[in-house]
């Protein structure tokens, strides 16, 4: 992974899911937590967004916040929708599933050379997954689905951080 945005002294990472209330806020919170633990806070800009606008302004889903809290992770963000400017500003846009990958790549394609973000699936960094694996949306399931997603996202974010440390 190579940062294309040489104007930024920090590596910027945007996590994206559908509504920005479950998976991407979890990834944002977990990645913040891992970055803080590693003493690298000044080296990263971290945010999250959704491809849809249904939940703009809302806090993360209570089940996502609960599982994060049980692991000592805070989820302070509010839902927002990804914009063209995000693709021009962030070094990496890390998506949770193939549908969001297609939507973000379509946005990026319309921007042409203005889009600097490298768009990747989060599970490409999961040591227990494969490049094509997705983070399942736990929204319509029970609490155990959120714990499973937390574990998956945590593993993936840990590996992502290890790779970005050397960029």
Residue 8: C-alpha distances to residues 18, 37, 38 (Å): 27, 22, 20
Catalytic: which of 61, 137, 155, 157? Answer: 137
Would you report the helix, strand and coil content of the chain in percent, each value rounded to 5?
A: 45, 15, 40
Is position 22 annotated as part of the catalytic site?
Answer: no
**Which H/E stretch holds residue 3?**
none
Please state whether beta strands 92-95 and 11-17 pair in parallel, antiparallel, or not at all (unpaired).
parallel
The residues with which 14 forms a beta bridge, in sequence order, are 47, 93
- Taking the C-alpha atoms of residue 116 and residue 128, their distance in angstroms, rounded to an integer, is 29
Is position 155 annotated as part of the catalytic site?
Answer: no
Is position 137 annotated as part of the catalytic site?
Answer: yes
Q: How many residues would you count in the chain?
A: 167
Catalytic residue annotation: 17, 23, 137
């Amino acid at each position: 992974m190579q940062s294309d945005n040489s104007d930024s002294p920090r590596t910027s990472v945007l996590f994206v899911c559908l509504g920005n209330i479950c998976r991407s806020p979890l990834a944002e919170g977990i990645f913040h937590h891992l970055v803080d633990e590693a003493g690298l806070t000044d080296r990263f800009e971290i945010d999250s967004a959704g491809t849809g606008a249904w939940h703009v302004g809302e806090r993360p889903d209570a089940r996502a916040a609960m599982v994060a809290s049980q692991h000592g992770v805070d989820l302070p963000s509010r839902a927002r929708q990804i914009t063209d400017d995000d693709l021009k500003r962030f070094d990496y846009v890390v998506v949770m599933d193939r549908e969001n990958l297609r939507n973000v790549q379509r946005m990026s394609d319309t921007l042409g050379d203005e889009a600097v973000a490298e768009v990747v699936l989060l599970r490409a960094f999961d040591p227990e997954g494969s490049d094509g694996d997705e983070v399942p949306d736990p929204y319509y399931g029970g609490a155990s689905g959120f714990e499973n997603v937390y574990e998956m996202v945590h593993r993936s974010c840990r590996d992502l951080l290890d790779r970005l440390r050397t960029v």
